[in-house]
Amino acid sequence: MVDCADPRAMARFWGSATDWTVHEVDDDHATLRSSKGVGPYLEFLRTPDLRSVRTRVHLDLLPYAGDDAAVEVARLKTLGAEETDIGQGDVPWTVLADPEGNEFCVLAPGR
C-alpha cells in the first residue's frame, strides 16, 4: 500500500506506466493488478498528512527484452514522471519520481 494525496491520479499514472488494470478507484483509494489477473495488487490510499520522508515502497520497472530503456523513460516522462537524483551515481538504471514524488527505477531491459 502506498500513501498518496490523490488516488485517482496515481491510478491513472501507474495504470498507464505498468499496463495494469485498475480494479477499484475512488477519492480515498485505488487498487491495480496485473492485466492477467495474477500476482500482487498495488494499492494507493489517500492520507491527509504530507509526506516528509521517503516512501517505504520502491518499485522497479523492467522493460521487456529488446526494448530501449531510454524510450521507456521518455514514455514515463510524458505520463508525468520526472528524473530525480537520490545519490545513485553512475548506474545502468534511471531513477524517476511519479507525480507525487515517489521514487522508482527503470532498469536496463534483458537481452
Whether the per-residue pLDDT at 12 is higher than 90: the answer is: yes
Give pTM, 2 decimals. 0.86
The pLDDT assigned to 64 comes to 85
Calculate the average pLDDT of the chain. 90
The pLDDT assigned to 108 comes to 86
The pLDDT assigned to 25 comes to 95
Instruction: Give the chain as a DSSP string.
Output: -EEES-HHHHHHHHHHHHTPEEEEE-SSEEEEE-TTS-S-EEEEEE-SSPP-S--S--EEE-PPTT--HHHHHHHHHHHT-EE--SS--S-SSEEEE-TT--EEEEPPPP-
| Higher per-residue confidence, 87 vs 25 | 25
